[in-house]
């Protein structure tokens, strides 16, 4: 594994949200390292409202973590 996450600190909430998205994507890639398998599974969830809602929840949880690490950009 490479050291790709040096900090949770970001300059702005927008950058924090983008970091939350990256964390979610990296989590999926670590959980299922095969890009071929992820591509094969995508049709099963990309039009499923429950799956999309859960994906949004994961991003929201990551964003909460990033926001707290940045003292909510005060």
- Give domain status of residue 25, yes or no: yes
Please tell me the predicted confidence (pLDDT) of residue 2.
77
On whether residue 1 sits in a domain, the answer given is no
The range of the structural domain enclosing residue 45 comes to: 13-73
Residue 62 CA from chain centroid, whole number: 6
In a domain, 7, yes or no: no
pLDDT digits 0-9 by tens, 13-41: 999 999 999 999 999 999 999 999 999 99
> Is residue 56 assigned to a domain?
yes
Q: Residue written as tokens 């909510």?
A: 72
Assess if residue 3 is contained within a domain: no
- Number of domains observed in the structure of the chain: 1
Residue 1 has pLDDT above 70, yes or no: no
- The Cα 33–Cα 49 span in angstroms is 24
Instruction: Give ∠ CA 25-28-31 in degrees, rounded to 5.
Output: 150
pLDDT average, residue stretch 41-51: 95
Q: What is the pTM of this model?
A: 0.91
């Amino acid at each position: 594994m490479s050291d790709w996450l040096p900090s949770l600190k970001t300059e702005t909430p927008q950058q924090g949200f983008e970091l939350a998205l990256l964390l979610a994507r990296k989590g999926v890639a670590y959980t299922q390292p095969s890009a071929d398998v992820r591509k094969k599974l995508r049709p099963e969830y990309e039009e499923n409202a429950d799956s999309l809602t859960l994906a949004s929840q994961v991003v929201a949880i990551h964003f909460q973590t990033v926001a707290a690490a940045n003292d909510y950009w005060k």
